[in-house]
A and B are shown apart, each in its own frame.
Chain A
């Protein structure tokens, strides 16, 4: 704001102005229903989930294995060479203890989202998922974890076929320490 300007437009309202009806407002709810086809690469990824396998994508030109798989390599812009099954274990790259849900509700027991570097993928290549069966105090970067799957009958071909990842007893490997 320039010191030459004395007039500053903009009229603040409070939540109370809505509640007390001090202002007129129009409340409406948007309805949107969507059916997303999963596509070629993610379709294969989800089919893998149904079989209890995390699929990666391999580019032989760049010698990279990415997850989730995709049809084109972003580095060389060539088609990916193919799919490779990865292990369902990995390392916590980073995590959070979430006390607010996506729709801004407060929760006592935190959700524990994490980026998990999947074993068999290139370094620093992971997926976002949730951690559980662990005390929030004990979660740490570098922690080794394994997927906990729904039973084969319950799987639907969705990322939620993995219920969460849980800690496993293994030697730790922290990719952030060079």
Chain B
């Protein structure tokens, strides 16, 4: 395709917290600054800035791209904000990738930020406006509904139990104990705890859901000739993919995310991956709800349809298993500041593939990882494959 190789050379993040004292701009700056420091660059070295942030309604500020521009270091630079709902955090680095792969820029800063706590007292009500104003909003829908409806359909279609789905929440929250930025790490949580937690919208219970959070994450991307000067451990972006299903979400199969499959196949083709189950060593599927991790593993072709839970039952998904899933702790454990949470997954692959993940390090010197996010009104899939 005539594309240049692109590497991730630096990454930084803030703590993920329920409410941060820092403003959205300040969180953005902290993550961006830390990413630059990690690869010993300064803002003058950056050719362009890509910002990812989700609905404006959380902040009560329109044009959030401009609002966050000073914290993102955008002053005097080509700057663009992307937004594909929950998929934004993995889309922002894709946008950064094509800025560099195309030859337009050599070094790009990618920043993702979310401050959900500004919507007071709870961000949930802001989600009402993602539904169609004429055909759905009069029914007073709740964001939990669409997840509950999809989860129920998924469980029913393949005969999956609540117990098996709860294993996802347990593993991710236990993994998060080793993440210093995590909001909900819990070493003692059990399947029973998940099953006994408050029922929010059956079959969704409290511990099936990731928390509302504030936080920011940033990456530095560089073209090959720059990356090799900056570091002897570049992590290459080997494949990217994104895809959208119909926005008429009640007119399609809710049990299988075909758009995730299409996004994954696009990324696998680019990365020349023929057998993803053998060639992907770490996977960070999007897990705002526990069943979503399973749903996405199937869409990513890393499990047969309806069989992703077996990866958790057999221990394959554990940090020392054959294909660790969410060694970071995922959204369920680290937290879910929407766009920042997706980019956190890409940053986790960067740290894991460089062997810098500390207590979270996956053994066996993994060579290749995949991060995926999902969003809009349940129909966008975004995928990045990285390798060293």
Contact = CB atoms under 8 A, between A and B. Distances in A.
Interface of A: 1-5, 7-15, 17, 23, 27-28, 30, 34, 36, 38, 42, 45-46, 66-68, 70, 74, 93-104, 110, 113-115, 124-130, 141, 158-160, 176
Contact of B201 (A12, A23, A98): A98
Interface stretch (B83-91, B164-172, B247-255, B279-287): B247-255
Given A10-B27, A115-B254, A124-B253, 18 more contacts: A2-B357, A3-B356, A8-B15, A9-B14, A17-B19, A34-B133, A70-B248, A94-B149, A95-B149, A96-B152, A98-B142, A98-B145, A99-B199, A100-B142, A102-B142, A130-B139, A159-B138, A176-B157
B73 interface: no
B274 interface: no
Contacts of B141: 102, 113, 128
Contacts of A2: 11, 38, 351, 354, 356-358
A176 B156 contact: yes
B265 interface: no
Contact of A23 (B17, B21, B60, B215): B21
- Main DSSP-derived SS at the A contact region: loop
B124 A124 contact: no
B181 interface: yes
A45 B138 CA distance: 15
A42 B135 CA distance: 8
Interface of B: 11-22, 27, 30-31, 34, 38, 60, 117, 120-122, 124-125, 127-128, 133-136, 138-142, 144-145, 148-150, 152-153, 156-157, 179-181, 198-204, 214-215, 246, 248, 250-255, 351, 354, 356-359
A14 B199 contact: no
A126 B144 contact: no
A125 B152 CA distance: 17
B138 A113 contact: no
B139 A128 contact: yes
Given A10-B17, A28-B60, A98-B145, A103 B125 contact: yes
Given A8-B14, A14-B19, A129 B254 contact: no
- Main DSSP-derived SS at the B contact region: mixed
Nearest to A75: B246
A37 B184 CA distance: 44
B255 A176 contact: yes
Residue among A12, A14, A101 with max Cβ neighbours from chain B (10 Å): A12
A11 B140 CA distance: 35
A94 B358 CA distance: 43
Contacts of B138: 158-160
Contacts of B136: 128, 159
Nearest to B57: A30
B351 A1 contact: yes
A113 B18 CA distance: 29
Nearest to A25: B120
Contact of A98 (B148, B246, B248): B148
Residue among A8, A14, A113, A159 with max Cβ neighbours from chain B (10 Å): A113
Given A46-B134, A95-B149, A98-B148, A67 B199 contact: no
A124 B356 CA distance: 47
B180 A8 contact: yes
Contact of A94 (B18, B19, B153, B357): B153
B19 A13 contact: yes
Nearest to B19: A13
A13 B214 CA distance: 10
Contacts of B30: 9-10
Nearest to B245: A74
Given A96-B145, A101-B142, A13 B251 contact: no
30 contacts: A1-B13, A2-B354, A3-B358, A4-B356, A8-B14, A9-B31, A10-B22, A11-B20, A13-B17, A13-B18, A28-B60, A30-B60, A38-B134, A68-B135, A94-B149, A95-B149, A96-B201, A97-B201, A98-B142, A102-B140, A104-B122, A124-B252, A124-B253, A125-B251, A126-B250, A128-B136, A128-B141, A130-B139, A141-B152, A176-B153
